[in-house]
Amino acid sequence: MAITVEELIDLLNKDLALEYSAAIQYIQHAAVMSGAQYGDVIKELKIHANEEIGHAIILADQIDFLGGVPTVEVGAIKTSDDNVEMLEQDLAGEEGAIARYKLRIEQAEELKEFALAQQLRNILAVEQEHAMDLKQALGK
């Protein structure tokens, strides 16, 4: 069953809401995370926050280009009073994003939206880097 542009716009808006929430989650986690040994991790989380905002800007522009209205809804945000649990929450978010963008690239190509597919590939590569950073921080 072929995807329609309208369905792709709806899915991209879900991705957009999750990029907003990822940025907020990283900002909050970086601020509340404590312990001298987490100094480098905290810096990394702040970099991730900025990159998620960059992804949101790309997705919003692409949704507009496709004729949709970019959402202002924000996805669910997770937090904890435990550093490791926060990093696990962040990693789960990244793994979800990787799975979603792999599918979204296929859907964009199915509709011959190759520029969108290229943008999504760039985002996917950054999400993979984020997941690797978090795995390293977690000693995985």
Q: Could you list the residues that contact Fe ion (CB under 5 A)? A: 19, 52, 55, 94, 127, 130
Least distance CB 102 / Fe ion (angstroms): 14
Closest CA relative to residue 80, chosen from 91, 71, 70, 69:
91
Q: If 0-12 CB within 10 Å is exposed, 13-18 middle and 19+ buried, where does residue 62 land?
A: buried
How far is CA 70 from its chain centroid? 16
Measured from the CB atom, the residue of 6 and 99 that comes closer to Fe ion is: 99
Least distance CB 1 / Fe ion (angstroms): 28
Measured from the CB atom, the residue of 6 and 126 that comes closer to Fe ion is: 126
Least distance CB 21 / Fe ion (angstroms): 10
Measured from the CB atom, the residue of 6 and 85 that comes closer to Fe ion is: 85
What's the sign of the alpha-carbon dihedral 80, 72, 63, 45? negative
